[in-house]
Amino acid sequence: MEWMIVETSVSTKQYVILQLGEESYGVDIQSVQGIEKIVTVARVPQAPACIEGVMNLRGEIIPVMNLRKRFSLKQKEHDEDTRIIITRIEDSQVGLIVDEVNEVIELDDEEIENVQIIDNNVDLEYIAGVGKIKDGTSVVTLLDLKTLIEDTLL
């Protein structure tokens, strides 16, 4: 009898989990350059309403988007948990203001499903999928940062 080893290729990705109100969202860690405490940003005239302004991060000027405003969520004051996630999509860096950053999780391809309906505040085109957390009781909405940022800034 001859044995044959069959390799299965399951891809695993890491996601930074962030909070906006009661909802959890995930962004691909490959797009995350850093996580900063909230800083004062300089306003930019005639910028889209969700763009808080720009910040100077180690000599680079980076636009800062408020995800609560982008998703038409009720605004809240920044607090000690508020963070700016510095993302890089191709050659552009953008800061995303979020309520807090929780953790980094790993999800396999089979733990991610496409979505048909989702939170009314987030356009379906900005959703890369929904990840089923290993505890089996919760899910996280995975954001398509490239589409989100391009639609907002371009």
- Enter the pTM of the model: 0.85
Q: Is it the case that residue 65 has pLDDT exceeding 90?
A: yes
5 within a domain of the structure (yes/no): no
Per-residue pLDDT tens digits for 95-123: 999 999 999 998 888 888 887 655 555 66
pLDDT reported for residue 10: 65
Residues 122-149: pLDDT tens digits?
Answer: 667 888 888 887 766 788 999 999 988 8
Q: For position 111, which CATH number holds?
A: 2.40.50.180
Q: What is the four-CA torsion angle of 140, 144, 148, 149, rounded to 10 degrees?
A: 120
Average the pLDDT over 40-59 and give the result: 92
Inside any domain, residue 6:
no
- pLDDT for position 3: 62
Count up the domains in the chain and report the number.
1
User: Do 50 and 70 contact (CB within 8 A), yes or no?
Assistant: yes
Residue 123 lies in a domain: yes
- Secondary element (H or E) of residue 55: strand 51-57
pLDDT at 64: 96
Is residue 83 scored above 90 in pLDDT?
yes
Strands 127-132 and 139-143: antiparallel
Q: d(Cα 125, Cα 100) in Å, to the nearest integer?
A: 23
